Homo-oligomer: A and B are copies of this chain.
Amino acid sequence: MNDLQPLPAGKVDSVQQIIDAAAQCFMAKGLEKATIDDIADVLAATKGRVYHHFRSKNAIFFAVHRLAMQYCFDAVAPIMALDIPADDKLFQMAVAHAHVMMDTLPYQRSIRLGVDIYLRGSTTEAEREVLRELIELRNDYEDLFRDVLREGQEAGTVDVPDVGLAGRAIIGALNGLVDWYRIRPGQSEADRAAIADGLARTILYGVKA
């Protein structure tokens, strides 16, 4: 995939490959049905390689989840720092989030609904602790949207019945991408930009004429 790099390669790359393969498998077959062997197969390797770097299957899922959240933060956080009106900021954040959903689809798809299910299934206390962190990460991320909403509400550029509810609505509309978006061969960057822009616009301006 990225074999043509100057070959810094080494250890980090191998772990990264495993995480990436896992995300693909999780997306394709679901968290449970995807086996360690499946992940190894994608890499043309065996379980040995996977278990050398990860303690358990859960640990792999956690890594996928953490990276997925990282992608989101990296895309949206810079916009938070901009000194622009809250409504404009929100628009750009929505566009950025939509792009991340499409660009890192396997990751985002893997973590949907996965957390709370894994929470109940996790045996060790250590695992539950990691899960709480991940959930908190997610909450922090979604708070970014709520914060901007509140900022706009106070400045008068945003008007919603309930900031919390509006935040949920926005996140829901954007995350829905993960459910219906499919990577098609003939799609251009412009097509994806149109999707991201159209979604953000619909959310910001509503559907009423």
Q: What residues of chain A have their CB less than 8 Å away from a CB belonging to chain B? A: 28-33, 87, 90, 112-113, 117, 120-121, 149, 152, 156-162, 165-166, 168-177, 179-180, 194-195, 197-199, 201-209
Contact = CB atoms under 8 A, between A and B. Distances in A.
Tally of this chain's copies: 2
Q: 3 tightest CB-CB pairs across the interface, nearest first?
A: A172-B176, A206-B206, A32-B32
Contacts of A31: 30, 32
Nearest to A32: B32
Contacts of A121: 29-30, 33
A60 to B, nearest CB: 16
Contacts of A29: 117, 120-121
B202 A165 contact: yes
Nearest to A156: B209
Contact of A203 (B195, B197, B206): B206
25 contacts: A29-B117, A30-B31, A30-B32, A33-B121, A87-B208, A90-B207, A149-B207, A156-B209, A157-B209, A158-B208, A159-B209, A161-B197, A161-B198, A161-B201, A161-B202, A166-B198, A166-B202, A168-B173, A171-B176, A172-B173, A172-B174, A172-B177, A175-B176, A202-B206, A203-B207
Contact of A208 (B112, B162, B165, B205): B205
Given A173-B172, A206-B205, A207-B87, A195 B165 contact: yes
A158 B209 CA distance: 4
Contacts of A161: 197-198, 201-202
A134 B184 CA distance: 23
A90 B202 CA distance: 15
Given A175-B179, A206-B208, 19 more contacts: A29-B121, A30-B117, A31-B32, A32-B33, A33-B121, A90-B207, A112-B112, A113-B113, A149-B207, A152-B209, A160-B202, A168-B173, A168-B176, A169-B173, A172-B179, A173-B176, A173-B203, A204-B206, A205-B206
